[in-house]
Amino acid sequence: QKEVEQDPGPLSVPEGAIVSLNCTYSNSAFQYFMWYRQYSRKGPELLMYTYSSGNKEDGRFTAQVDKSSKYISLFIRDSQPSDSATYLCATPNQAGTALIFGKGTTLSVSS
């Protein structure tokens, strides 16, 4: 079992839709979770991070962690064509150094 699993999609939605992106993780010791956004032919950039359980909101984006089910979610409200990108969930490895990434979910928002 991979440490971080993510459905690669692709996911296509119309502009204005609510988008839900999800990951699962296997190690209950993981406590810090990140969402990176990667535009085509660019490097990933940090979008949001959350600690442990609960929600974190930043504008149209909400990150949620459910530790009981080892489930990480990113919600995008009022999606825009500029949100079209690959979204990667990540968590630090057990040594607390580098990141373990999911496969990424490719999102396309059409106008």
Partner 1 sequence: EAGVAQSPRYKIIEKRQSVAFWCNPISGHATLYWYQQILGQGPKLLIQFQNNGVVDDSQLPKDRFSAERLKGVDSTLKIQPAKLEDSAVYLCASSLAGGGTDTQYFGPGTRLTVL
Among 18, 26, 46, 110, binds partner 1 (CB under 8 A): 46
CB 48 within 8 Å of CB 101: no
Quick check: bond before 92 cis, omega within 30?
no
E-strand stretches of the chain: 4-6, 11-14, 19-25, 32-38, 45-51, 54-58, 61-66, 71-76, 85-92, 99-101, 105-110
Question: Should residue 45 be labelled a site residue for partner 1 when binding is judged by CB under 8 A?
Answer: yes
Q: Which structure tokens are listed for 110?
A: 């059409």
Judged by CB, which is closer to partner 1: 67, or 103? 103
Question: Should residue 104 be labelled a site residue for partner 1 when binding is judged by CB under 8 A?
Answer: yes
CB of 38 to partner 1, least distance (A): 8
Question: Should residue 59 be labelled a site residue for partner 1 when binding is judged by CB under 8 A?
Answer: no
The site for partner 1 (CB under 8 A) is made up of: 4, 6, 8, 32, 41-46, 49, 88, 90, 92-93, 95-99, 101-104
